[in-house]
Amino acid sequence: MDSSWDAGRPVDLLSTLGPLRRGSADPAHRVGADGRFWWACTTPDGAGTIALRAAGSVVTAEAWGDGADWLHDRVPTLLGVHDDWSSLDVSSRPLLDRVRRARPGLRLPSTGLVLDSVVPAILEQKVTGREARRSWQQLVSRFGEPAPGPNERLRVPPTPQALLDIPTWDWHRIGVDLRRQRTIRAAASVARRLEECVTLPRDVALARLRHIPGIGPWTAAETVQRALGDPDTVSVGDYHLPNVVVYLFTGRPRGTDDEMLELLAPWAGQRQRVMRLVEAAGIGAPRFGPRFTPLDARAI
């Protein structure tokens, strides 16, 4: 089943959808050699796969499975049809201004699927990115289902019931400690209520997410950024982001959450858009001393 959508503006497919991918080997999100972005998920109508390709302002989509119609209907919102950057002024920051001009098709994605975003965010709590990506890849590969359609490398992430059915020892084998296991199970047990967050105001959605034991401000923010496409929520509590923002804006190599929020305050209402430009700039804060050595939960 094919469809097309003309955004009436440039579409930067990979930059827009990049935050959905958990590493290049993410079984639920693939980028083909032809530039197509593949996404497998469980929609409200069932499992579905969509392959997207952009040329200028036109996006073509092909979808498979019970969720195909839902995915086709989602394409404009997924790619930021309601994400208006026209009032964002970053001219006071020449580097960010150059990034924005170089990527006119960059928008914030909005998947409309909460569990799809909250589970990998929980896996990223208090561990290195490499550990979290490995756990996500193994979780989807081992406990997800083959995705509808022709891409045999794609897997649909586990359903709420499948997550609840995973025994503790299998979580342990994929490197997920008891604390994150409990948080994922708590989220899966109220998955229907969490999916309602996409119909709620941002602050109400954040509060509902944080009602889940083990979900704090950082995890809730990471979720609404992707599922709701919220333009303002900042991931407070991140290990790296305060240092990156403070270094980029002031030249100091280290910073705090409070300093980061103070520097972003002029863009209240659009702070997540600014953060996307910061990330796209590719600037990292200087590193001092040895790298953090992760503790592999599988060895405990």
Which CATH number covers residue 34? 3.30.310.20
> Helices (DSSP H) in 153-240: which residue ranges?
160-165, 168-173, 178-189, 191-195, 202-210, 217-227
Answer yes or no: is 36 within a domain: yes
Specify the DSSP class assigned to residue 42. E
The CB-side HSE value for 87 (13 A sphere, CA atoms) comes to 9
Task: Answer yes or no: is 171 within a domain.
Answer: no
Whether 54 is covered by a domain: the verdict is: yes
Cα–Cα distances in angstroms (integers) from residue 153 to residues 23, 40, 64, 144, in the given order: 14, 10, 15, 12
Helices vs. strands in the chain: H and E counts, helices first: 14, 7
Residue 23 lies in a domain: yes
pLDDT given at position 299:
56
d(CA 143, CA 151): 18
Q: How far apart are CA 221 and CA 235, in angstroms?
A: 5
Q: How far apart are CA 107 and CA 274, in angstroms?
A: 11
> What single letter denotes the amino acid at residue 18?
G
Q: Give the Cα separation of 50 and 39 in Å (integer).
A: 5
Q: Of how many residues is the chain composed? A: 300
H or E element that contains 60: strand 58-65
d(CA 255, CA 232): 20
Buried b (16+ CB within 10 A) or exposed e, 6-34: ebeeebbbebbbbebbbeeebbbbbbeee
Residue at 290 is within a domain = no
Instruction: Evaluate whether residue 282 is within a structural domain.
Output: no
* φ and ψ of 101, to 5 deg: -70, -30
In a domain, 298, yes or no: no
Cα separation, 30 vs 44, in Å, equals: 22
pLDDT of res. 295:
54
Q: For residue 14, what are the domain limits?
A: 2-83
How many CB atoms neighbour CB 273 within 10 A?
A: 22
Instruction: Determine how many CB atoms are found less than 10 A away from the CB of residue 265.
Output: 9
What's the domain count of the chain? Answer: 1
User: What is the structure's pLDDT at 285?
Assistant: 84
Is residue 11 domain-resident?
A: yes
Global pTM exceeds 0.85 = yes
Residue type, 263: L
10-residue mean pLDDT series, the chain (300 residues):
93 97 97 96 98 97 98 98 97 97 97 98 96 98 98 97 98 98 98 97 98 98 98 96 96 97 98 97 79 55
